[in-house]
């Protein structure tokens, strides 16, 4: 078995997760998308722990996550990164929702919806595409600007190879994506008390 195969996280499909939730045996659900994405739509009962906050405070979060945990994002990419971060501090019983919220919604499973906002991947495409377009058009006047488009292309290639996205992480910190307050103390309080006031439904 190759290293990439051994590094793959355990997954749970939408149907199996729905059965667990319906049976009352549901695991702790951690949605690692931005607060804005979470507020747009999420699985009822999920806690919002944005990926950047989870990575930065994984040691503190570990003490409040002893039971089974399913990590959720839009498609599974950020949830896989969260799984690696939490596994690195010795947290057992981690699974990633296979296909993320896209698969959950495709299965017509229950969601709690709020005001719609653009998801992070769409924002990255908009910003990267706009920078490339403007730099190519402006290179007619300033030829050196075409290299900006090249740098964006190189950055997107690096993001795909490493399964990370620096632009996405930067966009995730904008006020538009932070939404309502989502700080460590609030999240730890919700996890400790088993409630997610204002976020769980």
What is the per-residue pLDDT for 182? Answer: 67
Q: Checking DSSP bridges between strand 41-42 and strand 69-72, what pairing results, if any?
A: unpaired
First to last CA, the chain: 42
Bridge pairing between strands 47-48 and 112-113: unpaired
pLDDT score at 94? 94
pLDDT of residue 5: 43
11-116+180-198, which class in CATH? Answer: alpha beta
Extents of the domains making up the chain? 11-116+180-198, 120-164
Per-residue pLDDT of the chain (201 residues; tens, 9 = 90+): 344 444 677 999 999 999 999 998 789 999 999 988 998 999 999 999 999 899 999 988 888 887 789 999 999 999 999 999 999 998 888 999 999 999 999 999 999 998 887 777 788 888 888 988 898 888 888 888 888 888 888 888 887 787 677 777 777 777 777 755 567 777 777 777 765 544 433
Q: Which of 191, 201, 177 is nearest to 52 (CA)?
A: 177
Q: What secondary structure does DSSP assign to 75-136, as a single string?
A: SSHHHHHHHHHHHTTT--SEEEETTHHHHHHHTT---EE-S----HHHHHHHHHHHHHHHHH
- The pTM (predicted TM-score) of the whole model is 0.72
């Amino acid at each position: 078995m190759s290293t990439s195969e051994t590094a793959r996280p355990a997954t749970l499909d939408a149907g199996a997760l729905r059965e667990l939730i319906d049976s009352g045996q549901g695991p702790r659900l951690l949605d690692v998308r931005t607060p804005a994405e979470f507020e747009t739509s999420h699985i009822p009962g999920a806690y919002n722990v944005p990926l950047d906050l989870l990575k930065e405070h994984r040691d503190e979060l570990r003490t409040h996550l002893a039971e089974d945990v399913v990590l959720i994002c839009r498609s599974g990419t950020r949830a896989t990164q969260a799984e690696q971060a939490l596994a690195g501090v010795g947290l057992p019983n981690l699974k990633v929702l296979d296909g993320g919220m896209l698969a959950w919604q495709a299965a017509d499973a229950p969601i709690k919806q709020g005001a719609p906002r653009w998801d992070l991947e769409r924002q990255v495409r908009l910003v990267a595409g706009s920078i490339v377009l403007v730099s190519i058009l402006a290179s007619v006047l300033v030829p050196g600007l075409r290299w900006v488009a090249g740098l964006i292309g190189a950055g997107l290639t690096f993001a795909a190879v490493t399964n990370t996205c620096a632009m996405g992480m930067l966009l995730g910190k904008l006020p538009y994506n932070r939404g309502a307050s989502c700080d460590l103390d609030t999240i730890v309080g919700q996890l400790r008390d088993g409630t997610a006031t204002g976020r769980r439904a």
